[in-house]
Chains A and B, each alone.
Chain A
Amino acid sequence: MAIKTILVIEDDRFIGEMYVRSLKKAGYDVDWMVDGNDGLIAARNKPYDVMLLDVMLPERRGGEILQILRGGAEDLIPHTRVVVLTNFDQAEESRLAMEKNADAYLIKAEITPKKLLAVIDKLGQIGK
């Protein structure tokens, strides 16, 4: 399944902008939300192919959003690949999140737009 639509939930404006710019340039259809609540609403309203999810977010943390979307009996976003973005220091938390509900996770400080595109490309190849 080719990846077309991407939801970015990231509160750091500079980092969010950087991702969004590269993704758009690469031809993806990107929506960007800066807080957890808006992110959750967006994720429920539209079936995205990929969701880039920050862990530390205002209003609602990334882990909480994932729990709501995938923690219940029914997977509310069955067609979305979730990539957790994290800082170095939340590694444990995001790893647990990944093992349970996410499809991949990336350390923000280690990821450049180029690497991000490569990861999303790979996700597309693996298929769901």
Chain B
Amino acid sequence: MEVKDGKKPDIEPLNRFWPNYHQRAIFIAMVSQIVIILLVILIVLVFYPQPSIEAWAMMMVVAFIVLVTAAAVTNALLRPLRDLSAALVHSAGERSSVPPPNLNANYYKRMHLRPLLQQVLELASDQSEKRASEAEADEKTSTDGIPDIAAQLNHTATGIIMLNEKREVVYANKSAPIHIDGEGKKTMELIFDVDESIDQWLTDRGEHDIHAEKVWKRVANKLTGEADRRLYDVFVSYEKGSGVETIITLLDRTDEYQPEDDDLDFIAFAAHELRGPITVIRGYLDTLNDELEGTIDGDQKELFSRLIVSANRLSGYINNILNASRYDRRHLKVHLTEMTIADIYDTIADDMRMRAAAQQRLLSVQFPDGLPTVAADLNSMSEVLGNLIDNAIKYSNDGGSIEVTAGVSGDFVEVSVTDHGIGMPANVISNLFHKFYRSHRSRETVAGTGIGLYISKAIVESNGGKIGVRSVEGHGSTFTFSLPIYATVAEKLKSTGTNNQAFIEHSSSGWIKNHGAFRG
């Protein structure tokens, strides 16, 4: 499109059509009526050659009424055309003597014209956007050529919210999840975790940055189970000191995330249902083991310990599934308190000894004296340690030894679990902590769900630590995890109260952090 001096000489403006055509239509209607009237007068004159003055007057009055009616009827019949062209003219950004059609008018509803107008406006808005961008490209910012951007943004399914420096909503388009209270004040309707909210992030940015961007995934506008719950990916860009400091873009990803959510709900529900029976099985096995002591022979005793080991492992896997589903739904909680590494191991010691013995592994657990206490969630960390020892048992050979030990490393206590089993090549290690990942070889030889390391990583990080692995193929692996020394975080823990909210800052996965008690 050639655009010179802000004018468009090759293109006739849209607003010329209506006045022109309107005049023409009225003119044609009038002329046709006048011709008919003249014909009628002619016929009358043929039959009544000398009409009285009254007859003439009557004919004139009738002729006048016919003409006025014709004009009015034509005008009324042309109204849809008028409004359609007005819609086109307005959405093209041209001036027009006809006001833009109000889509809510009863007339359009009655005539079924509304969809047509809407279609015109939508098609036209595409066109005008193109025109606007072209105009921009030519640096011709004629106000006539650019559509009302705020109005246009209401057509997109992407939510857009703008905040001023006081973090008040200054603009939100129709697709944005906004709550308007009784006084007309707008607030964003998004549920963030306490320590990972946009508010928190903006506070940090305000202190440190000029320009920053961040993406939150899977943010819901309502709690689980509420009607009209949507899930968004939220893109935030912050520019200090500009009129609108924060621009938030929201992509509605409900269709993609919702089925996943439903699956997770089902998994959590199923795993939860399994817990009742397994609790009873474990309880009675424990009871029977004590009560039958001395009455069964060595062989039967061995069978018993296998039953107990298997029940405990099953229980552990169910815990992993429950924790993983909770983690994925952001419901995993930890409650950090002061404890020793030995405290963590003690809760699973009997179970681990039995497991190692049942599978002929030599389990050696030695924590040096004088290790500092750590801040940890007892129950979830004992599950992590159990997972690592369970893995070491799985991926080593009969008679192999497994060493569990600990040491201080900076502000952390590092616990390591070493086996001398099959080990892994480097390409396997990089995927090891992903959900459902199992190495090609282990898939064939060793049973498992591939969820243990995934949830272990999540739990360790939620406790403020890190997890890692060193391995040499054919020589075995060493898994390590670290937990913060209690003294280094005690102040923070106390200041955040019993819920430990927002305590861990160096955790790499944001949201799993400490929102109160997990258990314990």
Residues of the B chain whose Cβ atoms lie less than 8 Å from the Cβ of A87 = 272, 275
Contact with B along A97-118 (1 / 0, CB 8 A): 0010000000111111110000
Cβ-defined contact, B287 with A112, below 8 A:
yes
B517 interface hit (Cβ, 8 Å): yes
The distance in angstroms between the C-alpha atoms of A79 and B315, with both chains bound, is: 36
Q: Which listed residue, A22, A89, A91, A109, touches B279 by the CB 8 Å rule?
A: A109
Q: How far is the CB of B363 from chain A (nearest CB, A)?
A: 21
Q: Contact check, B379 vs A110: say whether CB atoms are below 8 A apart.
A: yes
A88-B519, A92-B333, A95-B517 known; A15 and B272 CB under 8 Å?
no
Range for the number of chain A residues in contact with chain B: 20 to 34
Inter-chain contact B282/A112, CB cutoff 8 Å:
yes
Across-interface contacts of B519 in A (CB, < 8 A): 88, 91, 95, 107
A59 beta carbon closer than 8 Å to chain B: no
In contact, A109 and B315 (Cβ under 8 angstroms): yes
User: How far is it, in angstroms, between the C-alpha of A42 and the C-alpha of B518 when the chains are bound?
Assistant: 32
Whether B283 lies near A92 (C-beta < 8 A) is: no
Across-interface contacts of A111 in B (CB, < 8 A): 279, 283
A12 to B273 alpha-carbon distance, docked (Å):
12
Contact A112 B333 (CB under 8 A): no
Complex contact A112–B283 (CB within 8 A): yes
Residue pair B276, A12 in contact (C-beta under 8 Å)? yes
Residues in A whose Cβ lies below 8 Å from that of B284: 18
Task: Determine whether the beta carbon of B333 is less than 8 Å from that of A15.
Answer: no
A92 touches B276 (CB 8 A): no
Q: A14-B280, A88-B322, A95-B335 are in contact. Are A114 and B517 (CB under 8 A)?
A: no
CB-CB < 8 A to B290: which residues of A?
114
Interface bits B330-358 vs A (CB < 8 Å: 1, else 0): 00010100000000000000000000000
Q: With the chains together, A74 CA to B57 CA distance in Å? A: 106
Q: Is the CB of A88 within 8 A of B275?
A: yes
Chain A, residue nearest B517 (CB)? A95
Considering only residues 44-96 of chain A, those with a C-beta below 8 Å from chain B are 87-89, 91-92, 95
Q: Are the C-beta atoms of B272 and A91 separated by less than 8 Å?
A: no
In whole angstroms, what is the CA distance A89 to B274 when docked?
Answer: 13
Query: Which chain B residues in 262-298 approach chain A with CB under 8 Å?
Result: 272, 275-280, 282-284, 286-287, 290
How many residues of chain B get a CB closer than 8 Å to chain A's CBs?
Answer: 25
- Cβ proximity bits B388-405 to A, threshold 8 Å, 1 near / 0 not: 000000000000000000
Residue of A with least CB distance to B291: A25
Chain A interface helix/strand/loop/mixed = helix
B133 CB-CB contact with A under 8 Å = no
Q: Please, which residue of chain B has its CB at the minimum distance from the CB of A116?
A: B283
Task: Please tell me if the beta carbons of A109 and B280 are within 8 angstroms of each other in the complex.
Answer: no
Bound CA–CA A107/B280 (angstroms): 13
Cβ contacts under 8 Å, A92 to chain B? 333, 516-517
- Whether B442 is near chain A, meaning CB under 8 Å from some CB there, is no
Cα-based distance from A111 to B335 in the complex (angstroms) = 19
Q: List, in ascending order, chain A residues with CB within 8 A of B315's CB.
A: 109
Interface flags, B286-327, vs A, CB<8A=1, else 0? 110010000000000000000000000001000100100000
Q: B282: which A residues are within 8 A, CB to CB?
A: 112
The A-contacting residues of B in range 226-255, CB under 8 angstroms, are: none
A15 touches B283 (CB 8 A): yes
Please state if A113 and B276 are interface contacts (CB–CB under 8 Å).
no
Task: Give Cα A84 to B322, complex, Å.
Answer: 21
A49 to B276, CA, bound (A): 27
The 8 A CB mask of A11-27 against B (1 = contact, 0 = none) is 01011001001100000
* B449 contacts the other chain (CB 8 A): no
List the B side residues contacting A14 at CB < 8 Å. 276-277, 280
Across the interface, which residues of B come within 8 angstroms of A12, CB to CB?
A: 276
Say whether, besides A15-B279, A91-B519, A107-B519, A112 and B286 are in contact (CB < 8 Å).
yes
Please, how many angstroms separate the alpha-carbon atoms of A21 and B333 in the complex?
A: 34
CB distance from A52 to the nearest CB of B (A): 14
B518 near A114 (CB under 8 angstroms)?
A: no
Q: How far is the CA of A17 from the CA of B205 in the complex (A)?
A: 58
Q: How far is the CA of A92 from the CA of B284 in the complex (A)?
A: 28
A15 with B379, Cβ < 8 A, contacts A88-B519, A92-B333 known: no
Closest CB in chain A relative to B212 CB, distance in Å: 33
Interface pair B280/A99, CB less than 8 Å apart: no
Excluding A92-B333, A95-B516, 8 further A-B contacts by CB distance (< 8 Å) are A18-B287, A89-B322, A91-B517, A91-B518, A95-B517, A95-B520, A109-B275, A114-B290
B residues whose Cβ falls under 8 Å from a Cβ of A: 272, 275-280, 282-284, 286-287, 290, 315, 319, 322, 333, 335, 379, 498, 516-520
Listed A/B pairs (21) with beta-carbon separation below 8 Å: A15-B279, A15-B283, A87-B275, A88-B319, A89-B272, A91-B519, A91-B520, A92-B333, A92-B517, A95-B335, A95-B517, A95-B519, A107-B519, A108-B275, A108-B279, A109-B279, A110-B379, A111-B283, A112-B283, A113-B283, A114-B290
Q: Top 7 closest A-B pairs, CB basis?
A: A112-B286, A95-B517, A14-B280, A91-B519, A18-B283, A112-B283, A109-B275
